[in-house]
């Protein structure tokens, strides 16, 4: 019984590894996971005025990268947002 419970629970070593990876990414960008979630849902709301997006599969993160016009790496917002259907009435997207 005890053994079965143990198997189901994730070992603390891998919990630590996972937490660390998220933590370090947040430290480097100065952007907490909570803040990113808020940004994500706001983005979804705004985008839904123009298109239907797959909110479950969208990825939003902040990464440091070289950008034109800057001498050093800058934090940049990177997003992959799958579009299910364009609902734009102006016909800009054809």
Partner 1 sequence: MSEVIVITSGKGGVGKTTTSANIGTGLAMLGMRTVMIDTDIGLRNLDVVMGLENRIVYNLVDVVEGNCRMKQALIRDKRYQNLYLLPSAQTRDKSAVNPEQMIKLVEDLREDFDYILLDCPAGIEQGFRNAIAGADRALVVTTPEVSAIRDADRIIGLLEASDLKSIHLIVNRVRMDMVRRGDMMSVDDVMDILAVPLLGAVPDDEAIVISANQGEPLAGTDSAPGQAYLDICKRLMGEDIPLYVPHVTRSLFSRISGFFKRAQEAI
d(CA 33, CA 22): 8
Q: How far is the CB of 39 from partner 1 (least distance, A)?
A: 23
Task: Find the binding residues for partner 1 in span 16-35 (CB under 8 A).
Answer: 16-17, 19-21, 23-24, 27-28
Say how many residues touch partner 1, by CB under 8 A.
13
Does the footprint of partner 1 cover residue 64 (CB under 8 A)?
A: no
The DSSP line for 45-68 is: HHHTTTEEE-TTT-EEEEEEE--T
Collapse the DSSP code of 74 into the 3-class scheme (helix H, G, I; strand E, B; otherwise coil) and give the result.
strand
**Sites of contact with partner 1 (CB under 8 A):** 11-14, 16-17, 19-21, 23-24, 27-28
């Amino acid at each position: 019984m005890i053994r079965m419970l143990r198997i189901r629970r994730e070992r603390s070593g891998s919990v630590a590894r996972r937490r660390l990876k998220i933590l370090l990414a947040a430290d480097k960008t100065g952007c907490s996971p909570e803040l990113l979630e808020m940004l994500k849902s706001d983005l979804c709301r705004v985008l839904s005025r123009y298109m239907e997006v797959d909110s479950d599969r969208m990825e939003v993160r902040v990464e440091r990268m070289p950008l034109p016009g800057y001498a050093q790496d800058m934090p940049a917002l990177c997003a992959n947002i799958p579009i299910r259907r364009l609902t734009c009435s102006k016909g800009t997207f054809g």
